Structure 1
Amino acid sequence: MKSRQVCAYGLARDDAGRTLLTGANVLPGGVVAHAEDPAGAVRRFVAEQTGLPVTVAGPYAVSTHLSADGLTHTDRIVFRVTPAGGELPAGATWAEVDGLPLPASPAPAASPGTYQRFGAYGLATDPAGRVLMTLIAPGYPGAGHWHLPGGGTDFGETPEEALARELVEETSQHGRIGDLLSVNHNHNPAAVGPEGVPMDWHVIRVLFRVFIDMPTEAEVTEAAGGSTIEAAWFDPAEVTRLPLSRVAREAVAETAGDVIS
């Protein structure tokens, strides 16, 4: 049976450029628990595995890992962290390494009755500075609010692949995926599924900067399903006056001095 999970890791480097590693010579980290903030998970894992308290500076990278048997999909988020003092326990060390030494994905733990979703979204603009938005359809959480294009990743799909696919499905645009901007999460223990079935729902979202170099009229395609009813381009000043979803509102606020003004 196929399964999915999300792991979070901390990347700390000292003044000499060395990387903080656990006793297993990998970045500290592990599986994000249901309803847990990925940034909080990183603080917990680094403290447990290296003895150092840290502050989280922001996301560094995101990737996808499939187990050797192809049955476990792991979304892996690496956060930049800064140690706040403390002593390293035996085994943990600062070392010169190439790349990101991430461990193999651990076996997923069973969580009956809980659902964790990993999604990729884009703050997309065209050469004229217009912002691409999607409108959530009636009957879905956030109905009537303008949202960022994007959605859940499919099994085996990277966040960048998922976002590129969702852009076409929801807006008919082909985008160039840029930097990773932020990571957020939301836990709704009383969510209702598409068939009216209650579910304990936890969604983790990664947000990318996206550039639409050759914009066309924004249109929803049939492949988008029923969650998106409309797509449109807006001038930056118009975006701030729209009824925005929480994710879109936070993205606009975070980039107010850069993308949206």
Structure 2
Amino acid sequence: MCRSADGSVLLTRGSDAGAFPGVWSLPGGGIDHGEHPDDTVVREFAEETGHAVRITGVRTVLADLARLPDDSIEHTDRILYDVEVTGGTLRHEAVGTSDLAEWVTPADVAARPLLPFTAGALGVAFDAAFDSAGLAFDSAGLAFDAAPTPERPGRVQRFGAYAHATDPDGRILLTRIAAGYPGGGMWHLAGGGTDFGETPEQALARELYEETSQRGRITGLIGVSHRYDPSALGPEGVPLDWHTIRVVYHVTVGEPTVAAVTEAAGGSTAEAAWFTPEQAGDLPLTELARDALSRSG
């Protein structure tokens, strides 16, 4: 989301090379393997509009399903940033999935055919007439590009949602990673990958209960990060070229119970427990858990 002083928003139009030609969207695109999401939005913005930008905040995280022209269903997890222009000159993308870039006034936005997530971000009612082209959108995993072998790690990219969960007494909820998984034996935030068709919030609620037996309420978005490990070892020692994009929420568990793992045996979580901040500071913590606890003091 990039706005000018008069309130206009910078939008790009889908080209014939993309899935939705003629439809307008916020600038952006897919995260390359191993790339931080922050770097992705800066790179994609420059490619599609000619402008260099600076991130000023994370607006929201969401997901949607789309029926593509070949009748397949695509799940997309999206991170929406606020950015401001720091340089460059407005231009159209020469070869790519967009063919126009324009500053669109608030009065003109609703007259454009918009992708649903863009319409929602701009406060424009989604026009069901857009579905007349045979496309269906609904609000709402793991993505392997090849089967892994000992000689060639499988490239894996995962989008996950995690909870910095606390109770009314200020205790912190953590999970211990099972042996045989990356980070085995370390204490981690509850959470995990989004399933097909899930929003990040739905995935987090499911993972929180499966890993800790707790139910909580999301009270804020802490931030977005990633981890790239091209030589990770998965279950049974299978090599993985591993890239995970992670969204961390603050979650309040108003009525805590004894933490216990409810998912089937053999999963990635060995145990779950509540800790005081002092106790948590003495644990072997994953980088994600350390960062979340550090941000909260």
Q: Same fold (TM over 0.5)?
A: yes
**In structure 2, what is the equivalent of residue 100 of structure 1?**
121
Write the mapping of 1:81-160 to structure 2, written as runs, cut at 5 A: 81-89=83-91, 91-95=100-104, 96=106, 97=109, 99-100=120-121, 111-112=145-146, 113-160=154-201
2:87 partner amino acid: G
**In structure 2, what is the equivalent of residue 34 of structure 1?**
33
- 2:8 paired with 1:18: yes
Work out whether residues 169 and 224 of structure 1, in 8 Å CA contact, stay in contact via their aligned partners in 2. no
**In structure 1, what is the equivalent of residue 64 of structure 2?**
65
**In structure 1, what is the equivalent of residue 293 of structure 2?**
252
> Structure 1 length normalisation: TM-score?
0.84
Work out whether residues 166 and 224 of structure 1, in 8 Å CA contact, stay in contact via their aligned partners in 2. no
1:36 partner amino acid: E
CA deviation profile, 1:61-89 (whole Å, cap 9, x unmatched): 11112121453211111122121133322
CA deviation profile, 1:75-121 (whole Å, cap 9, x unmatched): 1111221211333226423322463269x99xxx9944421111110
Query: Larger deviation: 88-97 or 29-38?
Result: 88-97
Work out whether residues 58 and 81 of structure 1, in 8 Å CA contact, stay in contact via their aligned partners in 2. yes
- Structure 1: gaps of 5 or more residues: 1-10, 257-261
**In structure 2, what is the equivalent of residue 79 of structure 1?**
81
What is the CA-CA distance between 1:34 and the residue it aligns to? 1.3
2:121 partner amino acid: L
**In structure 1, what is the equivalent of residue 235 of structure 2?**
194
**In structure 2, what is the equivalent of residue 217 of structure 1?**
258
1:245 partner amino acid: T
Query: Larger deviation: 217-226 or 121-130?
Result: 217-226
CA deviation profile, 1:157-203 (whole Å, cap 9, x unmatched): 11111110111111110011232221111111122232433221111
Work out whether residues 115 and 201 of structure 1, in 8 Å CA contact, stay in contact via their aligned partners in 2. yes
Distance in 2 between the 1:19 and 1:189 partners?
38
SS of match in other structure, 2:288: helix
RMSD: 2.4
CA deviation profile, 1:208-259 (whole Å, cap 9, x unmatched): 1111111111111143743212211112232223221011011122232xxx
Distance in 2 between the 1:150 and 1:88 partners?
40
- Structure 2: gaps of 5 or more residues: 15-23, 93-99, 110-118, 127-134, 138-142, 147-153
Identity of aligned residues (%): 53
SS of match in other structure, 2:249: strand
Q: Which has a greater percent of helix?
A: 2
CA deviation profile, 1:5-53 (whole Å, cap 9, x unmatched): xxxxxx1223333322124532101111111111111001111111110
Greater C-alpha Rg: 2
